[in-house]
Structure 1
């Protein structure tokens, strides 16, 4: 995603843009959905982590980090290691955080191998395995001497986990990579608390049925897997398109109408695109309970795409919008 959807879906939606069951009351991890496991001896380094079937071993904490998506820096900020970021890709499509001054390595979501290698990262923090697959001229994990990590376990061959557990595991794995495991545990504890509090905003109300969609070029897409589902479930909502079996899929306006969602969340990409996205959804789905009740809200794709702690912030946002503070 230079993309309309998350950058990581570029292989399915490159022409659409210059576009997790949540542990709402605990942080227990399902071994079937855990993104990757970090292992390290008691003394610290070397540490080995795995993502998308690739093992990466670090003898020391990375000092030069290239981000596959700019807003991923928020997770490194939470761990106290954002100062290690020296570059990013696909920055022209993202509203970068204030004070983020690292060099743009490439404007392309799938950056050229030469550009990435010239940046000399000792960690490439990928948004999507596409960025380190060797496809479309990108570098491979081998080109990077194995020093790549794919956030969200968003892999080419396997569906990405659709629960908040993948966020917790990413934080722990990054804590291991940077030699701050205790800090990572503290961050996960805080994130877990925040998710529990967000889900509790529902109080005794029935669990709302909601849809997360994007309208692009006159077509409607249900955003239903990976982080999309994690956000909705974490906020104590039922995703009407959870059974669609894909991270996103084109659906008809009629499918949205017949699902009769109590709430609609509309993804947008352009800065300040919230109002336009909401208005488009109100027009397209005027007969839904969500439009009649005024429960149509925008959600920023750039924040979703960054993964990590952004997902918990979006859980809080969506729960507050639909259930109140």
Structure 2
């Protein structure tokens, strides 16, 4: 086995030549991926051709970087944007060594400053506006490969993550690590599914995208196919998934979902989700709702819902145990 952190005397030439032979028949590699017009929302197919494994990856979010770490690619990450959200404890040590560019979304100039040969991650950040990494076409024209997570484009689901991981395995010729990580994630999905097998009917939920409980913003998340699919893991169905316009508080009250989901901002600014819940429970305008009467408000970290990555399973595992503690004893 080749050593991960260097080579021992006498093995270097052999290992290097073995790697060259292995790569000789693997590249060039052509993979389907995506692009969209500047300012657009419609994704179109666009192939990416890799003449060799990228050596300098810019990950546009924390979850994107953590995914790469699970495949043993930390030494290739030259920059990470949007350093926020709940950390993955299993790769926290490796993550702490990375070049963090900002705790906010980063722009194209910052990205280019890392001299990447691959820009990787969440699809919505591939644009030329402020706080965006540049469009796929713009980066490709500069000789930089891109990989947009399929999970993050409209139509993406949690299953899309498995395809993304397989593709990363091909891009970096680490198929064994990719398959092992997929197996681990599928095992965790199966664990949740088995624990909740006695729950025969889905509950309805609505998502309140709020930072202040006095400002009730109902997010229908109509195009957020990944978000809607992820909550299916815990037998929750978005009551407004087919709503294309704004949803008023009155409409929310009339829909009367079983559960309310709110974002947990603790990893962002230290704010208390419990205080947010208490304020919502005490709001007289919402007092007739089942979710209020039955104390069914749950807070989920933003990255678990809108990070479009494997770590959504962490959020759903936490949520399942909060909703059905007796089933996990």
TM-score (normalised: structure 1)? 0.74
Give the CA deviation at 1:310.
Answer: 0.7
2:64, 2:309 within 8 Å by CA — same for their partners in 1?
A: yes
Partner of 1:182: 176
| Rounded Cα–Cα distance in structure 2 between residues aligned with 1:145 and 1:223 | 38
> C-alpha offsets along residues 244-299 of structure 1, whole Å, 9 cap, x if unaligned?
25xxx642222222222222221133343322443344345333222222221111
Does 1:46 pair with 2:43? no
Does 1:70 pair with 2:62? yes
Q: Are residues 216 and 78 of structure 1, via their aligned partners in 2, closer, same or farther at CA, if it must alter by over 3 Å? A: same
Partner of 2:194: 200
Partner of 1:114: 109
| Rounded Cα–Cα distance in structure 2 between residues aligned with 1:102 and 1:243 | 40
Q: Are residues 78 and 277 of structure 1, via their aligned partners in 2, closer, same or farther at CA, if it must alter by over 3 Å? A: farther
Does 1:55 pair with 2:47? yes
Larger RCO (alpha carbons 8 Å, 6+ apart): 1
Give the CA deviation at 1:300.
Answer: 0.7
Partner of 1:313: 314
Give the CA deviation at 1:80.
Answer: 2.1
| Mean CA deviation greater in 223-232 or 277-286 | 277-286
Does 1:221 pair with 2:218? yes
Give the CA deviation at 1:117.
Answer: 1.4
TM-score (normalised: structure 2)? 0.73
| Rounded Cα–Cα distance in structure 1 between residues aligned with 2:195 and 2:206 | 19
Does 1:132 pair with 2:126? yes
Give the CA deviation at 1:242.
Answer: 2.0
Partner of 2:100: 104
Mark the runs of 5 or more structure 1 residues left unpaired by the alignment: 1-40
Mark the runs of 5 or more structure 2 residues left unpaired by the alignment: 1-22, 35-44
| Mean CA deviation greater in 220-229 or 101-110 | 101-110
- Greater Rg over alpha carbons, structure: 2
Aligned pairs for 1:160-175 (under 5 A) are 160-175=154-169
> C-alpha offsets along residues 127-168 of structure 1, whole Å, 9 cap, x if unaligned?
224x3333448532324524111124535xxxx125222211
Q: Are residues 149 and 84 of structure 1, via their aligned partners in 2, closer, same or farther at CA, if it must alter by over 3 Å? A: same
| Mean CA deviation greater in 99-108 or 179-188 | 99-108
For this pair of structures, how many residues does the alignment match?
Answer: 275
> Helix, strand or coil for the counterpart of 2:173?
coil
| Rounded Cα–Cα distance in structure 2 between residues aligned with 1:59 and 1:79 | 20
